[in-house]
Amino acid sequence: MGVVGKKRERGKRERFNLDQTESGGEKIDSLVVMGGVSKDVITKDFQGGDITVALGGTDINFSKADIQNSARLDLTIVSGGVKLVLPNNWDLQINTTNIMGGLDDKRRELPPTETKTKTLRITGTIVLGGIEITGYA
């Protein structure tokens, strides 16, 4: 599903309509140009997807999502921002190219007794923009 230039209403969140993969999992496909999107991802088999933002913003909440082993999220951000709310027990592998942009992981550290068994690989390009990653308790 692609979302183009859709304005978000303050405080209103919608559920992502996820695309089915050949293996039965679900993926995101989102395009935002000069607008904003605020969505919740609700699935037990998230496998990744593509998010493109130009001159806008996207807030995506994964607090009701789960991944089986690993997933890849490819982000392309040009003069915009993406905020991701991720479970604290997901391990992040970040491989982005940043040109006058950046990524900030604000999640809390897990105690040494807790292990991270799920892996989210974030790849992509950030130009004049940013990604903020927060967690939930």
pLDDT reported for residue 22: 46
Q: How many CB atoms lie within 10 A of CB 11?
A: 6
In a domain, 3, yes or no: no
For residue 104, give its domain range.
14-136
Q: What is the pLDDT of residue 20?
A: 53
Indicate whether 99 belongs to any domain: yes
**Pair 18, 50: CB distance under 8 Å:** no
Residue type, 76: T
pLDDT, mean of each 10-residue run, the chain (137 residues): 43 51 69 91 90 94 90 95 90 91 82 73 94 83
- Count up the domains in the chain and report the number: 1
Q: Is residue 107 part of a domain?
A: yes
What pLDDT score was predicted for residue 55? 94
In a domain, 98, yes or no: yes
The answer to the question of residue 19 being in a domain is yes
Provide CB contacts within 8 A for 112, sequence distance 6+: none
Q: Is residue 25 part of a domain?
A: yes
Nearest of 121, 73, 79 to residue 100 by alpha carbon:
79
Residue 65: inside a domain, yes or no? Answer: yes
The answer as to whether 9 is a domain residue is no
Strand order in the sheet with 36-43: 14-15, 36-43, 57-65, 81-87, 130-136, 102-105
What is the predicted pLDDT for the residue at 136?
75
